[in-house]
Structure 1
Amino acid sequence: MMADTSRLKEQKDHGTAVFPCGLYEVEETCSWKGVKHHWHDEIEILYFGKGEFLLRINMETFRIQEECFYFINPGELHSIEPLTQGLESAVLFHPRILSFEHYDMAQTRLLQPLSKGGIRLPRYLAGASPTFARVRQEYMEILRIFHETGSFLSEEGQTVTENLSSQLFIRAGLLNMLAVFSSYSLLTEPEKEDDYRVEIIKSALDFIRSHYQEKIYIRDLAQQANMNEQYFCRFFKKALGKSPISYLNAYRIKQAIILLQTTDMAVMEICLDCGFYNLGNFLREFKKDTGLTPLQYRKHYVDGKS
């Protein structure tokens, strides 16, 4: 039986309750570690301006080396790994902000199916695409509006706007993009063949997040997916770019970092609480991930806050 994947789903809000649309940006000078695998109900427009990145969406991996757009549809599992410093931004919005009360052709054939997952945005637009310049123009106008009227509301650097005129301009820009996609027949029905495989990965990640404090063996994850251990390891690595054990250790280190930031627990306590039963192994994994020992990291974090 599949595990409930609701805990894997990203829980934070994008935008505000009344206008679920937000902007995230990474500048060239930023030291950014990327975004781990997650999914959400919003559509995400990813713009890569400069730099190299690895983008994973469901079962596919894309290497970004030039200016382009990628589009994440609701429910798609995805992650971003920066390979160099670069320029990247993302506009996330819930499809419902585009809908009309009036059930005209646009509402019934485009907006309603988009909101319910019946149609999807194109996977990506390269610079050579005939639609690229127009979409880029609309996107840059949306960024300009956020910059002029937005405010930062979260530690992740999300920009939102509560200005009425700005919200209308942003909605208009998104609708203009949708019109461009429609005019070039770039809106497609979702592919069903990958759904089951993606759900297996979501289930495995949810199991890790629910049981990371316990001893987890490959056989436990393989049983969740009804696969043998060898095939599951190949399947997992193909989907996420790392082995199940590497992902598990990285997730445990992430939880350890949170405890170092938010508690005064001793390092040994954190080691055990995060599922490491060998202090030496915990220290090696922590330094490999952060370049610091746990105590050095805590001091660095406290000094940075002060």
Structure 2
Amino acid sequence: MKSFREKHSHGDRLFPFEFFDQSGEVNEQVCFLHWHDEIEWLYVCEGKINIFVDGISHIINAGEMYALEPHILHYMIAIEKSRYLTCVFDRHLLEFALADYVSCQYINPFIEGKLTIKNPVICSDLRIQNTFFNILNEYKNQQISSQLSIKLNLLYIFQDLIENNYLIPLEQNKHNLLAVEKVLQYIEKNYQEKITSQSLAQLVNYNHQYFSRYFKENTGYTPIEYINHYRIEKACELLFDMDLSILSISVECGFDSCSYFIKKFKEIKSMSPKQYRKVLLENYEKEQRYLMSKSVKKS
């Protein structure tokens, strides 16, 4: 699973926390298959999100929260036009230096992985939603006390979870994912080469028909669907390089045909590679203007 660890670091050593305000269109895959060391709390403000956790589908509606444990393979698809807020952080942010009853009964067992959060968290009032928006505002403002405020708001959410009985003992997942891990690592190393579903089944000594079903149960994709999604994600990285042609990117990512590459790219990203590159460039220019304006204000 090492190869599917998210390479992006969340926060820094002193404050391992990052916040995302994200949106998705109908049937858009809003994040690719990955895992990370931190926990993730996601709140859906609008629409409906399908979260696939170890290949199992979980529908999260507006007004609901979903909590992901560390080291869990997951990806997400927006079922409807959606907006969702996400906190990704080290669970040690919740702990206190001095022990008290709540720490011993709830916080420490949660940090140690003995307690988990029962999903989805159905928010009957606006308390959790308002808390997520408070975190969003503090994360954007970056005032001298913002990190303290973010930590307090995370604890407010945790308080709600305790009061509404969403903390439960963690059941150990006994499902063996070693074959899937081996296949995922193989695809990452060899995605530029020709890969078939049959060759992947042989890699783990499985019957082809059984392997295809087993793989989809644990990732949400057929083997070929996953290969195409992985290749498209690698293509998205290469589209940052304006010197590379669409044809050369398709070849670099293992596609036999440029037309097939464009077809699959449109299916997965809902736009052509050329359009995607244009959006990347526009977003990059906006970000540079924003950073420049912040720099001018500070000076």
Task: Give the residue type in structure 1 aligned to 2:19.
Answer: L
Structure 2 residue aligned with 1:158: none
Structure 1 residue 222 and structure 2 residue 201: aligned? Answer: yes
1:157 alignment partner in structure 2: none
**In the alignment, structure 1 residue 120 sits paired with structure 2 residue 116:** yes
Q: How has the CA–CA distance of structure 1 residues 303 and 41 changed in structure 2, closer, same or farther, with 3 Å as cutoff?
A: closer
Equivalent residues of 1:95, 1:111 under 8 A apart:
no
Q: In 1, distance between residues paired with 2:17 and 2:282?
A: 34
Contact (CA 8 Å) 1:138, 1:173: kept in 2 or not?
Answer: no
Report deviation, 1:207. Answer: 2.5
2:139 alignment partner AA: G
Range with bigger deviation, 91-100 or 101-110 = 101-110
Cα distance change, pair 260–232 in 1 and its aligned pair in 2 (3 A): same
Question: Could you say what secondary structure the match of 2:240 adopts?
Answer: helix
Give the corresponding residue for 1:209. 188
Select the residue among 215, 236, 239 that pairs with 1:236: 215
280 and 172 in structure 1: CA distance in 2 versus 1, 3 angstrom threshold: closer
2:227 maps to: 248
Summarize the Cα distance change of 1:299–1:138 in structure 2 as closer, same or farther, 3 Å threshold: closer
Matching residue within 46, 56, 60 for 1:60 = 56
CA RMSD of aligned residues (A): 3.1
Distance 1:168 1:79 in 2: 30
Q: Which residue of 2 aligns with 1:154?
A: none
Q: SS at the partner of 1:100?
A: coil
Which consecutive unaligned segments of at least 5 residues does structure 2 have? Answer: 286-299
Task: Select 2:107's aligned residue among 89, 101, 111.
Answer: 111
With over 3 angstroms needed to count, the CA separation of the structure-2 counterparts of 1:263 and 1:223, relative to structure 1, is farther
Q: CA offsets, 1:250-305, max 9 Å, x none?
A: 21122123223215234443222211234443343234444655456546655775
Instruction: Report how far residue 164 of structure 1 moved.
Output: 4.8
1:181 corresponds to 2:161: yes
Give the alignment's TM-score, normalised by structure 1. Answer: 0.79
Out of 79, 94, 98, the position equivalent to 2:94 is 98
- CA-to-aligned-CA distance 1:39-82 (integer Å, 9 cap, x gap): 11212111112213222122421233442111111122211101
Alpha-carbon distance change, 169 to 225 in structure 1, aligned in 2, over 3 angstroms? farther
- Percent sequence identity is 27
How far apart are 1:99 and its partner, in Å? 1.6
Between 1:55-64 and 1:176-185, the stretch displaced more is 176-185
Q: Is the 8 A contact 2:21 2:86 kept in 1?
A: yes
Q: How many residues align?
A: 285
In structure 1, the partner of 2:39 is: 43
| Residue 171 of structure 1, CA deviation | 1.9
Distance 1:102 1:13 in 2: 29
Correspondent of 1:25 among 16, 21, 26: 21
Partner residue, 2:3: 7
Structure 1: segments with no counterpart, 5+ residues: 152-160
